[in-house]
Structure 1
Amino acid sequence: MTQVQHPSAPVRDWLIGLQSSIIDALQQLEIEAGSTARFIRDPWQKSGNEPLQGDGITCIIEGGKVFERAGCGFSHVRGPALPPSATERRPELAGAPFEAMGVSLVFHPLNPYVPTVHMNVRMLTATPAGGAPVSWFGGGMDLTPYYAYEEDARHFHQVCRDSLAPFGEDKYPRYKAWCDEYFCLRHRGEQRGIGGIFYDDVSELGFEQGFAMMQSVGGHFLDAYLPIVRRRKDEPWGERERDFQRYRRGRYVEFNLVFDRGTHFGLQSGGRTESILLSMPPHATWAYQRTFEPGSREAELTERFLVRRDWL
């Protein structure tokens, strides 16, 4: 692969630091809860005759008192040709050698009153034949509650807006709408959660500002999520709430396997399957045409929260 002009080392170092800070914060929550569960740190490397070369660190905790399953992965890979999922918006780069790095996480709490969360920040650089390297950035975060609260939704979106404020007043409205459009189960006509922000293939800011925006989004994640976890993690719950949580997690699985571009990119490019699928919940269920009693908290989720709204 042609040497890229943009220095990737500072981006890599920052991403590894981001992963560590997030894992440390979640581990502290488990310790405070009296849990003996600890994050497993699993470094990996792809080499030899595989088309995709690179390395990464997968960190995962299972069976905690706060998080039933939480995975946070760093990856840095290089390949001879961009997969189709990465060139939908950039057909001129189809088949170009590439370098991709990022941090991606999905946390599935044990308590159904604590929402599932997803966050991802990434950079991708491609070098078309005879051309100069092209770098672009993507990322965002979104919240998927099972039992939703207005104050939690407002807090999450406020921090999302704060993370983008230095880069233009247009960014939060654009990326909030982009998130609503992206995290939609189109075959059901249903939002995955209450949204957040999402952006992809962003290069108009240039390398330095694109990197700075990625740092801001990733750096605001804990501020967006941890206060919600601390507010809800000790709410009493029973089998009814647990059953509903598993049912809604089924929707999460549907989205990740059918629509998620990150999942498709990883599998199409020959990525590490165990790391790619760390976003899957440990338990999920499906039911045929299930309905819920009008006025119930379960019905409220679909009627009031799984809709596209201005949360601020």
Structure 2
Amino acid sequence: MERETPELVAPATFLRGEEGASPESVRARFERMIRRMQAEVCAELEAVEGGASDGGGAALFREDAWTRPGGGGGISRVLQGGRVFEKAAVNVSVVYGVMPPEAYRAARPEAAAAAGGEKAGPVPFFAAGVSSVIHPVNPFAPTMHFNYRYFETEAPKDAPGAPRQWWFGGGTDLTPSYIIEEDIKHFHSVQKQTCDKFDPSFYPRFKKWCDDYFYIKHRGERRGVGGIFFDDLSDYDQKTLLQFATGIISSLVVFSVKVSLDINSPHVFMVLRISPQRGRL
């Protein structure tokens, strides 16, 4: 693994030279989208902090950027000690690496078999993603988590003729301390509306996946109130699923944060809104 190099200013792209020169590739479009979403989420949260601080002492995001000599890098943004948000992080990363053959066989058994099965060697890969966890100060406001990513593999090093593999993954979920049914129903309705625009089977399928994924066996319960989760998604073409990923993230970015500074007030929630004008690449 190459050592990370801190950067004072994040570069325009973390893609390797020849890929950065292809702005219409899925890699380039996904990177642009997650970096735009990172900027928008951070701007929204800082605006809420600024409005709650009466013009002084508002908590801001601290940014750290890094690159790797062989390509790739990331931007981490962290806000902490705010009046509204105890801590919030929104991170993006672009990674180039080599996947062990065992991991490739587990992730893509059919492709691995076509590339030589047990004899398939290490597989070069590309991955990019955005992830966030937001912890409000007010206990009546839930913790929100989301993560969305795009993964692509090259042919195994000893099977140059094998086809390239790709898939999308991610999800959004809430973990409240206090259950306010109206807010939880609204959260799930936003998820369903966005999923239904692409495939009516997405929401029930991804909701169950989320419930199962975050099931805590030794407690006999699920973490939080769920949401959606999916992985290895390649049901449609890349363009369609890129639009889906963009749409589902955009539905979370375009929100009106209504968080009361009065910790005794239950009327707090990060109200998620869908905007038909957002999500364009």
Range into which the TM-score falls when normalised by the shorter chain: 0.7 to 0.9
Indicate the residue corresponding to 2:171 in structure 1: 140
Aligned residue in 2 for 1:105: 132
Give distance in 2, aligned partners of 1:22 and 1:176. 24
For residues 127 and 211 of structure 2, the distance between their equivalents in structure 1, rounded to whole angstroms, comes to: 25
**2:173 and 2:224 in contact (8 A); partners too:** yes
Q: 2:129 and 2:64 mapped to 1: Cα distance?
A: 16
Residue aligning to 1:127: 154
Q: Distance in 2 between matches of 1:188 and 1:168?
A: 33
CA contact (8 A) 1:57 1:73 kept: yes
Looking at structure 2, the residues matched to 115 and 10 of structure 1 have their Cα atoms a distance apart, in angstroms, of 31
Q: Residue 97 of structure 1 aligns to a residue in which SS? A: strand
Q: Aligned equivalents of 2:104 and 2:39: distance in 1?
A: 27
User: What is the rounded CA distance, in whole Å, between the counterparts of 2:83 and 2:103 in structure 1?
Assistant: 37
Of 50, 61, 69, 1:39 maps to 61
Structure 1 pair 234–88 and aligned structure 2 pair: CA distance change class (3 A): farther
- In 1, the alpha carbon distance for the partners of 2:223 and 2:104 equals 22
Percent identity, aligned pairs only?
36
For residues 231-274 of structure 1, the C-alpha deviation after alignment (integer angstroms, 9 at most, x for no partner) is x5334349xx9xxxxxxxxxxxxxxxxxxxxxxxxxxxxxxxxx
CA contact (8 A) 2:104 2:123 kept: no
Alignment-derived partner of residue 249 in structure 1: none
Do the aligned partners of 1:137 and 1:203 also contact (CA within 8 Å) in 2?
Answer: yes
SS of the equivalent of 1:8 reads helix
1:72 aligns to 2:90 (yes or no): yes
- Answer whether contact 1:143 1:196 (CA < 8 A) is retained: yes
Give the Cα separation in 1 of the matches to 2:185 and 2:134. 20
Are residues 209 and 103 of structure 1, via their aligned partners in 2, closer, same or farther at CA, if it must alter by over 3 Å?
A: same
Distance 1:149 1:118 in 2: 18
Deviation at residue 163 of structure 1 after TM alignment? 1.4
Instruction: Give the CA deviation at 1:68.
Output: 0.7
Q: Which amino acid aligns with 2:58?
A: T
Deviations 1:90-144 (A, max 9, x none): 2455831100001100011111111000011110001132212111001121010
CA contact (8 A) 2:38 2:92 kept: yes
Distance 1:175 1:31, change over 3 A: same
**3-state DSSP of counterpart to 1:76:** strand
2:73 match: 55
Paired residues, number: 230
More strand by share: 2
Equivalent position amino acid for 2:66 in 1? W
Structure 2 residue ranges without an equivalent (≥5): 1-15, 113-120, 267-281
Pairing 1:1-312 to 2, within 5 Å after superposition: 7-34=26-53, 35-47=57-69, 53-81=71-99, 88-91=106-109, 92=111, 95-129=122-156, 130=160, 131-223=162-254, 226-227=255-256, 229-230=257-258, 232-237=259-264
Normalising by structure 2, what TM-score? 0.75
Indicate the RMSD between aligned Cα atoms, in angstroms: 2.6
